[in-house]
Structure 1
Amino acid sequence: MNKIILIALLFISCTASAITLDDVRSTFASQSVVRAKFQQERQISGMAQPLHSSGEVLIAKNKGLWWQQQHPFPMTLVLDDRHMAQIMGSQAPQVITADSNPQMFQFNHLLRALFEADRKVLDENFTSAFTDQGNGKWQLVLTPVTTPLDKLFSTITLQGDKYLNRIALNDLQGDFTEITFSDHRPEPRKLTHEEQQRFAF
């Protein structure tokens, strides 16, 4: 009888501590600013060698997403609620708005939703399979159900713990993209003056 009670208590304890998607969303929502390094590998169908890139990313809750590729060539992407700007090297920014390119802006919205685990946006665009992998780690496999996403991707997989650590994109052309994040830095919790200027365009 004591063994049965012990097993039952262990089961209840494990069940109570299981991570859910809402837990992840709440954790991400509490992070006002996160800075990280990224490594990206793209395996393109028909190409023998994958393409590699790396750089820095900044996710600011009240500002948007700043993505700076440093290698193999400099390229910066800035996303906020109204604009998407791409800057190649020292060239002037190419700015896209929701009015000028609605489809491209949809990807802007989706990309930010992935980084923020926005439950509403994810539920509107995907069916999801969430798995608690133990030790605070989790995986979320997203299958697109809306156009144009369902015409481009078969699945999008997110993995992480208290931060997003990996995004894997399987597209319908047989290509595969993996982005891994490291050196997450939530401090300082407010943007520095220099970081604020990254969103001024």
Structure 2
Amino acid sequence: MTVVLKMLCAVALIGLSQMANAFDVQQLSAQLGKPSVIHGDFIQEKHLRALPQPLTSKGKFVLAKDFGLLWLLATPLKQDYRINTVGIARRDAHGWQLLPNKSAGAEQNRLFLAVLQGDSSGLQRDFDLQLKGDAQAWQLTLTPRSLLLQQVFKQINIDGGELVQRIELQETQGDSTLLRMIDSTSATGLSDAEHHDFVD
């Protein structure tokens, strides 16, 4: 399972940031479907046991309820990813190329889509959910139930206010990934370029 797949799975959970004013799973699902599009910047820090300093990357993301996720890395390497109902694709000189759909990646892709679509039954099947705080300052803790996810994640923590601000993945092997979402805003639709990226 690649770092990219783990990261995309986590970022998919951005949708849960729409839960301000919601403190049970049913309300989370309803709130999840409200914004059509979320734009923002991200800073990702990958903390590896073998390295003294985290690996840091930065970029932009576009989360669209009806289309999926664009994850646009800018530094240290420029690389674009797209995840949707078809799977995970990476852009190269010839356009979008679908990545191999291995079993672990397929499971994470299914989880990602469950979050995007507000499928609370899917989330509850895979995770124990614990929510605390209020609409302006909340924390959601996801503890995996499925054996496959337990092999990868120890726990996922999501913090935010009106929108998500921070996602932390704690992995079973001791590594961790911290995603900070910056300047996130909601929109009613995609730009022409964004729409092209999703449907091309």
TM-score range, shorter chain: 0.7 to 0.9
Partners of 2:70 and 2:53 in 1: CA distance: 28
Question: 2:99: which partner in 1?
Answer: 96
In the superposition, the TM-score normalised over structure 2's length comes to: 0.80
Q: CA deviation at 1:141?
A: 0.8
Q: 1:151 to 1:134 in 2, by over 3 A?
A: same
Work out the percentage of aligned pairs sharing the same amino acid: 26
Deviation string for 1:42-87 (max 9, x for gaps)?
Answer: 1100211111011111111110111111111011110111221023
Unpaired segments ≥5 residues, structure 1:
1-16
Deviation string for 1:98-138 (max 9, x for gaps)?
Answer: xx43431221222344566642221010112111x235221
CA contact (8 A) 2:83 2:89 kept: yes
Q: For the aligned residues, what is the CA RMSD?
A: 2.2
Deviation string for 1:123-174 (max 9, x for gaps)?
Answer: 010112111x235221111111113111111101111223222110000111
**Where do residues 34-113 of structure 1 align in structure 2 (5 Å cutoff)?**
34-87=38-91, 90=93, 92-96=95-99, 100-113=101-114
Q: 1:159 to 1:21 in 2, by over 3 A?
A: farther
Aligned length: 180
Q: Which moved more, 1:139-148 or 1:107-116?
A: 107-116
Amino acid at match of 1:141: T
> Is 1:196 matched up with 2:199?
no
Q: What SS class does the counterpart of residue 151 from structure 2 fall into?
A: helix
Partners of 2:117 and 2:167 in 1: CA distance: 13
Partners of 1:30 and 1:45 in 2: CA distance: 39
Q: Which has the higher contact order (CA 8 A, sep 6+)?
A: 2
CA contact (8 A) 2:85 2:113 kept: no
Amino acid at match of 2:129: S
Partners of 1:28 and 1:47 in 2: CA distance: 37
CA contact (8 A) 1:115 1:164 kept: no
**Where do residues 121-160 of structure 1 align in structure 2 (5 Å cutoff)?**
121-131=122-132, 133-134=133-134, 136-160=136-160
Partners of 1:118 and 1:58 in 2: CA distance: 20
Q: 1:18 to 1:96 in 2, by over 3 A?
A: closer
Partners of 2:113 and 2:73 in 1: CA distance: 17
Partners of 2:113 and 2:159 in 1: CA distance: 16
Question: 1:161: which partner in 2?
Answer: 161
Q: Is the radius of gyration larger for structure 1 or structure 2?
A: 1
Partners of 1:21 and 1:29 in 2: CA distance: 13
